[in-house]
Amino acid sequence: MNTDAPPSGYHFGYKTLMLALFPGGRPPQWRDQAACRGTDPETFTLVQHMGRAKELCSICPVLAACRADQLAWEQGRAPSRDRPIGVVGGMTGPERRAVHYPPAPSPAAPAVLSGMGVA
């Protein structure tokens, strides 16, 4: 079997896309076990399907690997890091953006904690 051949049904630019996205031009092996295999991509990109996408991710056996790879991929690309879209690895775009850009601690927090006898 020729493993360099695109899966049937993929368009002409598949190999170029894979080379651009993945080291060695091959998707990671964990994708073979993804719960979203064969699912319409619109399930993960359209807001009205977000609940269904999150349901699929919640039962996915490769959730951790998918999420880690996505966050690492976005981290290296400013446009994707700044405006991540769709549900990937069980997280919406805004949820992933919050990981890339965690909110600064509130200046009031130390005072509040101090008043509670914590700090």
Binding interface with ligand SF4 (CB under 6 A):
34-36, 56-57, 60, 62-63, 66, 88-90
Smallest gap from residue 38 Cβ to ligand SF4 (A): 11
Nearest approach in angstroms of CB 61 to ligand SF4 is: 8
Tell me the residue length of the chain: 119
Kindly tell me which of 20 and 59 has the beta carbon lying closer to ligand SF4.
59
Tell me the DSSP string of 13-46.
Answer: THHHHHHHHSGGG---GGGGG-TTTTS-THHHHS
Choice between 31 and 100, CB closer to ligand SF4 = 31
Query: Closer to ligand SF4 at the Cβ: 19 or 68?
Result: 68
Nearest-approach distance from CB 63 to ligand SF4, in angstroms: 4
